[in-house]
Structure 1
Amino acid sequence: MIDMIAALQPLLVGAVLLWSARLKLFSRHATATAHRSGLVVLLGERRALPAYRVLGAVELTLGAALLLPPTLRMEAVAVTTLAAGFLAYLGYTRRVAPTASCGCLSAQPTPVSGRSLLRAGLLVAAGALAATTTTGWFAALADRPVAGGLVLLAEAAAVVGLSPELDATWLLPLRRLRARLTHPLRGGSGVPLLATVQQLQLSDAYRRVAALLRSDVREHWDADGWRFAAYAARYQGRTATAVFAVPLADPEPEAVRVAVVDDTTGQTLLSLAGTTPPTDGRLTVVPA
């Protein structure tokens, strides 16, 4: 298995290098990207763009060499050295110019982060692993297409996941999709959480315990026509949870009630009832 993984690394690293070279050599944003990168600090404003172009040419050459047969060990060694240089450059940039852009895989202005360093480390490891094999990636993939495809897919996902400059391509759309599907500001009733919070903040129960609260809403759930909202609280030196009960069908603040519960013992330390009791006649609270 390890032999197959090693044989596939030239394909992964070669594809990453060609993608990076595309930005440096052919993107219309290359000049702006170079001037936002750490190369300005390292080499100066005038030399940043030429160095950026030269680096792109090196990436293009090595990337193409890795993808084209035969696979030579010297190619893998050269790529490992280049990736190690990337890692050192990113570490230097993060230390001396924390706001400078990486300029690696996208024109998106993104400062160097821990994810960027981990990605460079992954490429160093992939290049070193590729140097241990002489089997071509095409032969390895043809011999075990399913396993090889899964390995490449996992590694490609790791590279993308460790590239903050690519977040706008996949992470933000996923977050928007999740928001559309889960409606994070709504409970099961369809009543926005914000409306519930506004109602309870206008209540006498909230005003009477506001000085005890130590957080915003930490948890909320709907049950039997009520929405329960839990806040961190402190009561007479004890760590506690304040649980508000807000009727979903009654918008009046006077109907809100609250219980303050000791987090350690589960004992109800304070209970303030509204004008309308819950349907079962009691308020059940669970310590956070």
Structure 2
Amino acid sequence: MIESAFASLASVQQILLGGVLLWAAAVKLRTPEAARRTALKRLVGERHAVSAYRAVAGVEIVVGVLLVVPPAAVFEAYLAIVLVVGMLGYLTYARVKAPDSSCGCLGDKETPVRTRGFLRAGLMVLAAVPAVFATDWWPAAVADRPLATVGLLVAEAALVVALSPELDHRWLLPLRRWRVRLSHPLANAATVIPVESSVQQLRKSDAFRSVADQLRSDLLDSWEEGEWRILTYAARTEAGRATAVFAVPLLDFRPNDVRVALVPEHDGALIGPAGT
């Protein structure tokens, strides 16, 4: 009885491991430019960072598909163990050699390698080891013990998300805002975000750095449009005088999402947040 229950719980680790690996691969293929913010830039050089990032995604796809589709084979679990142990090694290298680099693991947000990343990789190792003892393909294990297996998968998936700082903007920040709205005595008061805060976020963005040498003034004007604050500066391009129009996230600190448009002075139309 106990052995049968363990075999069922071990078998469903296939879908957990496969799902996380396929998720990670999809992120890497969707935003390959994120490789330049990871430790791969130092490990293989900036020129080869994107190629290495895509190669890792290819390996994750192969191992992920093997784990998800039938049949259940022990070598799949061993491949997963090698992959997640390799990830632990990569995280260690990143923490030592490039501590400010982004993980680039399960999301495109810039999140330096910290304790949560190691705990997530450790969780994946703990999931991969029992998968070696899987005897059935994971749907059969779920059908055999639906409550226990589904409950375990939900708990493990929630733990993976909780240990992924790249995903905090999807659940942790909204949860914190909700808690503040419920508990803060000034929750119903209008919130005023200082312009200085937006300027500080702007100066930390790649968009600002990309045009900094063309700016010819301090902040000229600012206004709000939905969840964006628009900031304008005088600029000069090869074509002549222009206005630099920046769209800065108003409610969150997301310098990677800042956008900029250089509007020629003779063109009176200003480009909004969608401009690049």
Q: TM-score, normalised by structure 2?
A: 0.65
* Structure 2 residue 34 is the aligned partner of structure 1 residue 19: no
> Which consecutive residues of structure 2, in runs of 5 or more, have no partner in the other structure?
190-276
- RMSD of Structure 2 on Structure 1 (CA): 1.5
| Alignment length (residue pairs) | 185
- 2:106 is matched by which residue type in structure 1? L
Give the whole-Å Cα distance in 2 for the aligned partners of 1:42 and 1:72.
33
Q: Counterpart in 1 of 2:139?
A: 138
Q: Counterpart in 2 of 1:116?
A: 117
Q: Counterpart in 2 of 1:4?
A: 8
Q: Counterpart in 2 of 1:127?
A: 128
Give the whole-Å Cα distance in 1 for the aligned partners of 2:172 and 2:38.
23
- 2:69 is matched by which residue type in structure 1? L
Give the C-alpha shift of residue 2 in structure 1: 2.4
Give the C-alpha shift of residue 3 in structure 1: 2.1
Q: Counterpart in 1 of 2:32?
A: 30
- 1:108 is matched by which residue type in structure 2? K
- 1:63 is matched by which residue type in structure 2? G
Percent of counterpart pairs with the same letter?
49
Give the C-alpha shift of residue 48 in structure 1: 0.8
Give the C-alpha shift of residue 66 in structure 1: 0.5
Give the whole-Å Cα distance in 2 for the aligned partners of 1:12 and 1:63.
9
Give the whole-Å Cα distance in 2 for the aligned partners of 1:179 and 1:43.
44
Give the C-alpha shift of residue 185 in structure 1: 5.2
- Post-superposition Cα deviations, 1:65-86, rounded to whole Å, max 9, x if no partner, equal 1000101100110010000000
Give the C-alpha shift of residue 64 in structure 1: 0.8
Give the whole-Å Cα distance in 2 for the aligned partners of 1:139 and 1:90.
35
- 2:27 is matched by which residue type in structure 1? L
Question: Would you identify which runs of 4 or more consecutive aligned residues in structure 1 move more than 4 Å?
Answer: none
Q: Structure 1 residues 127-136 or 156-165, which shifts more?
A: 127-136
Change (3 A) 1:143 1:43: same
Give the C-alpha shift of residue 89 in structure 1: 0.3
Give the whole-Å Cα distance in 1 for the aligned partners of 2:166 and 2:21.
16
Give the whole-Å Cα distance in 2 for the aligned partners of 1:125 and 1:81.
12
- 1:55 is matched by which residue type in structure 2? V
Greater relative contact order (Cα < 8 A, sep 6+): 2
Q: Counterpart in 2 of 1:85?
A: 86
Give the whole-Å Cα distance in 2 for the aligned partners of 1:185 and 1:135.
55
Give the whole-Å Cα distance in 1 for the aligned partners of 2:158 and 2:39.
26
SS of the counterpart of 1:166? helix
Give the whole-Å Cα distance in 2 for the aligned partners of 1:101 and 1:125.
24
Give the conservation status (yes or no) of the 8 Å contact 2:13–2:130.
yes
Give the whole-Å Cα distance in 2 for the aligned partners of 1:43 and 1:170.
33
Give the C-alpha shift of residue 23 in structure 1: 1.1
Give the C-alpha shift of residue 179 in structure 1: 0.7
Q: Counterpart in 2 of 1:59?
A: 60
Give the whole-Å Cα distance in 2 for the aligned partners of 1:150 and 1:183.
34
Give the whole-Å Cα distance in 2 for the aligned partners of 1:2 and 1:100.
39
Q: Counterpart in 2 of 1:68?
A: 69
> Which consecutive residues of structure 1, in runs of 5 or more, have no partner in the other structure?
192-288
SS of the counterpart of 2:105? coil
Q: Counterpart in 2 of 1:226?
A: none
SS of the counterpart of 2:134? coil
- 2:21 is matched by which residue type in structure 1? L
